[in-house]
Amino acid sequence: MSFKFPLITFLLVAAIKLSATEVTIDVSKLEGKSSTFIGESGILQRIPDSEVVLLNVENLPALITVSSIQKGKISILSTIWLMSDSLSISGSVTNERFQLSPEKNGKILQEDLEDEWKSFLKNTPKASASRPLLVYVLSKLKFQKTEDLKTLAFSVEADDADFWAAEKIKIHLSELDDMGYNSEEELFQYLSAYDKKGNSVTFHRPDKKFLLIDFSSSGCRPCLQDIDKLVSLNADFVEDLEILSIWDDPKQAAWLSIGREQKEKITWTSLRDESHAVFTKFEVDVYPTYVLIDSQGKVVKRWKGSGIDKVRKYLLK
């Protein structure tokens, strides 16, 4: 079983071009950088001994972190508000002292953004969200309560209404409202997500078959390993079962790249839940999770963890 946020989900050091803007970060004057990582949106890469780090970010401004990993635990040394596509970091990793230049391109956020988020919720409706806070909450979207996100969305001032992070939070909330799934009655009709071409598509449940929804993440090794069993299950129950794989991957390029060889075995519908709305609506908190739905749209069974063998036994009853 792979729980939702294993280290591998965060630590993707393969050379993957994630999209948008390539940022050049000069680390030639940064001391003690062995086993130190830099990244954005939880995707980290090791800081090399060379002078320059090339970091791909989806949007600017962005939050990037300088982190160390000890005994499998990620420790954030510094959070940087990155405002341009070039930055120089100097100082020492050992004593966690960093300087940025030019100053207009970045700012070290001394305050704890998690504390700022808690303070925001406590002081609402008087408070308004800063842009760094919006990006932070977006990066932690899967940890947040829907009602708190609605509070945040309503607080965004007019000048920030079109800010990219505010827009993505609103999209998440909109997709939650628009989904054809009644969580109280556990009745499913349809959902929308992204295909391999980056298009938003709507998937409707089959009328005369069972539907098995495979909730996975590219950073979850058991999810990728289960694809072989899903291929076999799909072949053996082709007349009675349809499979839908939903991937909790916010980045299109990473989704297409990670586990590519395994994913190429998928012949059924496979979509990416960019905003995490599908996972939130179905209250999925473990990778993988399998949800079986009957021909009337009723959820009849859930399995958490690698449970394909259990799915097979259930279908054979």
- H/E stretch holding 302: strand 299-304
Does residue 222 have a cis bond before it (omega within 30 degrees)?
Answer: no
Predicted pLDDT at 49: 80
Question: pLDDT at residue 12 above 60?
Answer: no
Does 2.60.40 match the CATH number of domain 2-108?
Answer: yes
Predicted pLDDT at 125: 65
For residue 132, what is the DSSP state? H
Asked if 137 contacts 149 with a C-beta cutoff of 8 angstroms, the reply is yes
Question: pLDDT at residue 212 above 70?
Answer: yes
Predicted pLDDT at 8: 36
Asked if 219 contacts 248 with a C-beta cutoff of 8 angstroms, the reply is no
In this prediction the pTM is 0.81
Distance CA 54, CA 85 (A): 10
Q: Which CATH superfamily is domain 180-315 in?
A: Glutaredoxin (3.40.30.10)
Q: pLDDT tens digit string along 110-169?
A: 888 999 999 999 887 677 889 999 999 998 888 899 999 999 999 898 889 999 999 999
Compare 91 and 3 and report the one with higher pLDDT.
91
Distance CA 231, CA 233 (A): 6
* Residue boundaries of the structural domains of the chain: 2-108, 113-176, 180-315
Distance CA 7, CA 226 (A): 19
Task: Tell me what percent of the chain is helix, strand and coil, each rounded to the nearest 5.
Answer: 30, 35, 35
Amino acid at 51: E
Instruction: Say yes or no: do domains 2-108 and 180-315 share a fold.
Output: no
Q: Which two tokens stand for residue 81?
A: 């508000």
Residue percentage of the chain with pLDDT more than 90: 69
Predicted pLDDT at 4: 41
